[in-house]
Structure 1
Amino acid sequence: MGVGGLGTEIAKNLAMAGVGIIHLIDLDIIEYSNLNRQILFSDADEGEPKAKVAARALNKINPYSKYIWHHSNLEDVDPEIYATADLYISGLDSVTARNELIRRAVQFKKPMIDGGTATYYGHVYTYLPSKNACLQCDPQQERERETLAACTLVGIPRKKSHCLLKGQLYFESKNNRPPDTTIL
């Protein structure tokens, strides 16, 4: 789940390990700003769905595995895909998407490995049904909501909160001080 910076590495390693069936789920399209860290994509792929291009690239790495791509958000994926998977591996960049995936892991009693990055830090979290707390039960989750992956602000922001943060960072870089947000 997620075919960005971390997800492309995960997918490549799964393909090289010979995993039989890999579902690639990502709603994003390839942007120029992705190319320095997402190894399955090239500049010729700009504007294409990440999951589609990743499936094509992985097939070149290992044509004996099956790659099924979904240009979709996690909520719209057929529940049968979740039910038949052996394991969920997440390289997602949003708390909303992670929450949806953990909901499915709990619903279908599937193990999940979640990885993520923020600036220079990373995390790996393993959920094993009936063995440990899910991400939604972990108090660390609350702190994660306050952070935003640095790569989210490269290129064109898509959410209001990203626009505000990008504007704040721009202001600080030009004025050497934070903006006065008390008037907002």
Structure 2
Amino acid sequence: MVPSFEELLAATEHSAVHLEMRDGYMESDPSFIEWQKGRRDLPEDNDPALRPWLRWVREATARGASVRRARVFSVPESDYLKFEHHVSDANVLAGEEIRWLPRRRAADIPLPANDYWVFDGKLALILHFAGNGELAPEDPIELSEDPAILKLCLDAFEAVWERATPHAEYHPS
């Protein structure tokens, strides 16, 4: 049985890294829809009781694990990326480190074909999305301990991280 994301992050001892490379995700997300209507800073975007991700990050970082996310994206940014930037302030307050890298500055970095997470350098959670940004209806996630996949993912993440702009310094156009 595949562990839940919450279980994977709860078991993380040292580090969890996440590379995002899409310009849009789950555009049916109610928070995104409200953001498009001009409603900002809703409780469900910032309250750990309503947004479990914030609680999970806080718990992981409180026990000493680092949680880092890097985003590779197109410029000008999609509305979804602007939304992600806005709600990422709460992620950073919870302890997640986030950096932003325009796609044109990543042209020489070998990148995997999919977004992914790597936990403690030992386990990759590979995410498969449909063209509309929703998780693929069949086999949306894949777990791998393959050393070649882990190396590709970790090397790509660190190369992006090194070039990327910290969240506090990046402002979408």
TM-score by length of 1: 0.30
**Structure with greater proportional strand content:** 2
Greater RCO, 1 or 2 (C-alpha within 8 Å, sep 6+): 2
TM-score by length of 2: 0.31
**Structure with greater proportional helix content:** 1
